[in-house]
Amino acid sequence: MFDTHAPKMLAVCSRYTKTLEEAEEVLSNGFIKVLTRIKQYNGEGSFEGWIRRIMVNESLNYIRGKQALFVEIDENKLSKQDFFVEEENFAEEELLKMIAQLPEGYRAVFNLYAIEGYNHKEIAEKLGVTESTSKTQLRRARLHLQGAIEEQEKKTLKSEASSR
């Protein structure tokens, strides 16, 4: 079971942690929970999906155990402009690297919202923060990603110009 699911689950854990070592620690702890709770799997949904939920929750427990990662901000003081990362011709690997560079709080909310599909109320409950904080963290994550994409575009343009 470990050999079959570990590579995909390591990728899940890596999206929430800063280093490979941290992701491996979360993965190990997650598989301990999988093995101790395997009788709780009732056949609803895929087995892989059940394991994935455990890994996401274990990742959140890991980052929750670290120092405060979220900054409470009055959402009314922020610009009402919505920030979306424009679709670009980036490879999945490049985008995952950019996501990995986000501060931990931003990365956690971004992963839960954009990749796992949770809404802000669910994210707030999982992370023990307010919905406003979840929205703020997502907005800031998008801004960081937008900046990283723009920086990458500048580098690409410079590279193309110098090769001419």
User: Collapsing DSSP states into helix, strand and coil, what is residue 135?
Assistant: helix
Write the DSSP string, 25-73: HHHHHHHHHHHHTGGG--SSS-HHHHHHHHHHHHHHHHHHTSS------
Fold for the domain defined by 1-66: Rna Polymerase Sigma Factor; Chain: A (1.10.1740)
Q: Which residues contact 117 (CB under 8 A, 6 or more apart)?
A: none
Average pLDDT value for residue range 18-44: 93
CA distance 116 to 64: 18
Residue-level length of the chain: 164
Give 154 or 56, the one with higher predicted confidence.
Answer: 56
pLDDT in tens, 66-107: 654 554 545 454 444 444 444 444 567 788 888 888 998 899
> Would you identify the CATH topology of the domain 71-164?
Arc Repressor Mutant, subunit A (1.10.10)
Q: What is the pLDDT of residue 91?
A: 65
pLDDT tens, position by position, 1-12: 999 999 999 999
Q: Where are the chain's structural domains?
A: 1-66, 71-164
Model confidence over 114-163: pLDDT tens digits? 989 999 999 999 988 999 999 999 999 999 999 988 888 888 777 777 77
| Half-sphere exposure at residue 14, Cβ-oriented, CA atoms within 13 angstroms | 14
What tokens appear for 119 in the block?
Answer: 């809404």
Average pLDDT over residues 44-62: 93
Rounded to whole angstroms, the Cα distance separating 59 from 42 reads: 23
Please give the radius of gyration of the chain, using alpha carbons only, rounded to the nearest integer.
18
Is the model's pLDDT at 55 over the cut of 90? yes
What pLDDT score does 80 carry?
41
Residue 85: its pLDDT value, please? 40
- The sign of the dihedral angle between the CA atoms of 137, 139, 140, 144 is positive
